[in-house]
Each structure stands twice: as structure tokens, then as C-alpha cells.
Amino acid sequence: MPHFANCTIGIKIDGEVLEEYATQVNDSHVTSWIASESNKEFEIFFHADHYPSSLQLIIYVDGVELVNRGYDHRKMGKEIACYGVSIDASTVKPFVFSDINFSEDEPVYDPDRIGNVGTIKIEVLQVIFTESRDPTYIVPGMSNDPLHKRSKILGARGVWLGEQKRVTTKKMTSTPFDPEHPGPVVTFNYVYRPRSILLTQGIIPTYVPKYVEEQEEEPEPEPLINESREELIRRLREQQEQVARELKELEDIRRLRERQAEIQRELDELVNFGFDNV
């Protein structure tokens, strides 16, 4: 999990923390790649230590500011979670990874957002909170309108807001802790793509089957003396499903490489026929 300026952050799917890849630090900006899963809800979790003030998390998804989440100084060292966008004091619409549709028609997707598709940005600021007496809730538009085909991003995936859930939140008003330095103390950036794309691009390390890794780490597994027949069957089926998923990822990589080779052949033919100067 990225850790910078006494702040730790991460993203979970089904309670499991997503692994970060190719993490880079540039001044106070931390950038990581993660593997998203289509139609899966996710949450952003955060904790900090040793700050004299409260903190505010401003969360941008696909270039849209969606959430302002408070981290009270009395909670220092404790973990908080952001599940989605609040639509009132007791309801949120959760974040959901979704595949993007593409259209041959004129673009209907906001062109200013295209460059930010597939990104999650969290700015962390030092602030002073006061309770809001007349809270208002604004739900930004996160439509699933198609992206124009000419703007297609390799492995593009977006985030939509799912069906509302009951989660209690409290609206607060914030002012900078240090008016002379109101900017973020750290900015965390996530670039999310399907796992197969990250494997193809070399962002995820060279593929090694999980069951091979387990054999290398545990060459002498303990005998299954106390494991019932039902538990053994369940465990073996889970391993079988995991291997099937990994084989599918390999097949996706093979198809992407075939398509890449096909595009290169077409490009070479055009260049050979003198179209490169058109």
C-alpha cells in the first residue's frame, strides 16, 4: 500500500486489498497501477499518523471530483473507508468498476474527461472542520454514455455509481489549517486497467502460476490429517477455479499480442506503399 507523509491508502474489492504495481514517487505525488475487475464495487481506505490537524480527502474519479471525505484528528492512527458518493446523510451510491462502451457516432462523452479515464486521484489536505448546519448533497454525473471509438484507450475501464446503500455520513465545512499553504500534503494517483492489460504491458511482473509459487514457498506441505472430505473438495475446486482464471488471462494476452502483430503488419504495408507521408 502506498505510504507517504505519514499517510497510508489503498483500494479494496470484496474486502481484499488490491496490489499496487510500478509505484513511483515524484515530489509529493505517489502514482501506482492496480488491476480493476469489471462490475465489482470497491472502497478506498485511509489512515494517518502524527498530524496536528484534521485531514480532508478530495477524491477524483475519471477526472470528476466525487467525494470530500473528512479524517478527524481524533481518529489519528485509525482506518476509515470511503464506499462511494453520499446522496443524503444515510445513503451512498458505491463505486463500481465498469467496462466502457464505444460508439461509431459523434462523441457523447465529455472530451475534457477522456485523458483522465481510468484514473483515481486522492488529494490529502490539512484542515479545520466545523459542522455544517444546512448540509446539501450534490451527486456528480457519472453516466455510462459511450466513448467515441476514435478515442479508444487500450483496456479502458470506467467507474460508475452503483445501487444506493445505507451508510451514515456527516457533512462538515472545512477551512485550511495553514492558510499560507492550503495545498495537498500528498496526492495519491491510481491508474486502473484490466489485469490482462497490465500483464501485457509488463507492469505486472512476468507471469508465474500461483500454484507454482505456493509449491516453491511451501515445498513440504503439512499432511491433511484433520481436513474433512468436504473441505478437501471445496479447496481443490477453489484451486481449479483459480487456475482457470489464470489460463483465461493468458489467453487474453495471446489474443492481444496477435492483434498487436496484425496492426504492425498493416502499418508496415502502408509504409511500404508510401502512405507514411500522406
Q: Which string of DSSP letters, residue by residue, matches the chain?
A: --EETTEEEEEEETTEEPPPEEEEEETTEEEEEEEE-TT-EEEEEEEE-S-SSEEEEEEEETTEEEEEEEE-GGGTT--EEE-EEEEETTEEEEEEEEEPPEESSS--S-GGGGGGTTEEEEEEEEEEEEE-SS----------PPEEGGGPPTT-EEEEE-S-EE-----EEEEESSTTS-S-SEEEEEEEEEHHHHHHTTSSPSP--HHHHHHHH-SSPPP-SS--HHHHHHHHHHHHHHHHHHHHHHHHHHHHHHHHHHHHHHHHHHHHTTGGG-
Domain assignment of residue 200, yes or no: no
Strand 91-99 and strand 84-88: the pairing is antiparallel
- What is the pLDDT of the chain when averaged over all its residues? 78
Within-domain flag for 58: yes
Which structural domain, as residue segments, surrounds residue 164? 3-195
Domain assignment present for 202: no
Query: What does the pLDDT read at residue 149?
Result: 41
Residue 205: the pLDDT is 80
The single residue listed with the C-alpha cell 490529502 is 124
Res 271: pLDDT? 59
| 64 pLDDT higher than 80 | yes
Retrieve residue 182's grid coordinates. Answer: 492550503
Tally of domains within the chain:
2
- Identify whether residues 268 and 164 lie together within a single domain: no
Three-state SS letters, 82-126 = ECEEEEECCEEEEEEEEECCEECCCCCCCHHHHHHCCEEEEEEEE
Band of residue 148 on the pLDDT scale cut at 50, 70, 90: very low
pLDDT at 129: 86
d(CA 53, CA 180): 15
Q: Which residues of 85-103 are buried (b: 16+ CB within 10 A; e: fewer)?
A: bbeeeebbbbbbbbebeee
Residues paired with 179 in a beta bridge: none
> Where is average pLDDT lowest: 59-73, 187-201, 218-232?
218-232
Residue 42 binned pLDDT confidence (cut-offs 50, 70, 90):
very high
The confidence score (pLDDT) of residue 261 equals 73
Q: How far is it, in rounded angstroms, from Cα 250 to Cα 213?
A: 17
Examine the fold and report which residue of 129, 164, 195 is the final residue of a domain before the chain moves on.
195
Say yes or no: 113 and 222 in one domain: no
Confidence of residue 125 (pLDDT cuts 50, 70, 90): very high
Question: Which of these three, 147, 172, 195, is where a domain ends?
Answer: 195
- 212 lies in the same domain as 181: no
Last residue of a domain, one of 175, 195, 215: 195
Q: Is residue 114 part of a domain?
A: yes
Rounded to two decimals, the pTM is 0.66
Q: Mean pLDDT, to the nearest integer, of 12-35? A: 94
What's the CA gap between 206 and 67, in Å, rounded? 36
Range 130-138 average pLDDT: 66
Q: Encode pLDDT of 219-237 as tens digits.
A: 555 554 556 778 888 888 8
Cα(254)–Cα(249) distance, integer angstroms: 9
Q: 144 and 184, same structural domain? A: yes
Give the Cα separation of 33 and 233 in Å (integer).
Answer: 35
- Smallest CA-to-CA distance from 21 within 210, 209, 203 is with 203
266 φ/ψ sector (left φ>0, alpha ψ -120 to 50, else beta): alpha
Task: Tell me whether residue 110 is in a domain.
Answer: yes
